[in-house]
Amino acid sequence: MTNMPLPLPGSRFELRFESLFQPGYALAFPCDSEGHVDDEHLGANIRHSYLFARAMVGREYKWPRITPCTLTAEVGG
């Protein structure tokens, strides 16, 4: 199961943390055009994932990139 946050209203960008070891795996969070994530509006689990990704840059994830937002819904399985 992959959990992705819904874009915040007006959010057209996402901050993507791509895995260093698993090609195609990334964590993405809605942000503004400068990469600022409004973590106060994220759910607790998504906020935890965001803080984890930030802490693991260089160990598990590449430096994050700001990309056009492609997320439209939560994905589960």
Mean pLDDT (whole number) for 6-26? 84
Q: Is 10 exposed, middle or buried (0-12, 13-18, 19+ CB in 10 A)?
A: exposed
**Contact residues for 67 (Cβ-Cβ < 8 A; gap 6+):** 13, 14, 16, 28
Residues 40-70 have pLDDT tens digits of: 999 999 999 999 999 999 999 999 999 998 6
> According to the per-residue pLDDT averaged within each range, which of 6-15, 21-30, 63-72 is highest?
21-30
Average pLDDT, the chain: 84
User: Does residue 29 sit in helix, strand or coil?
Assistant: strand
pLDDT in the model for residue 74 = 47
pLDDT in the model for residue 22 = 95
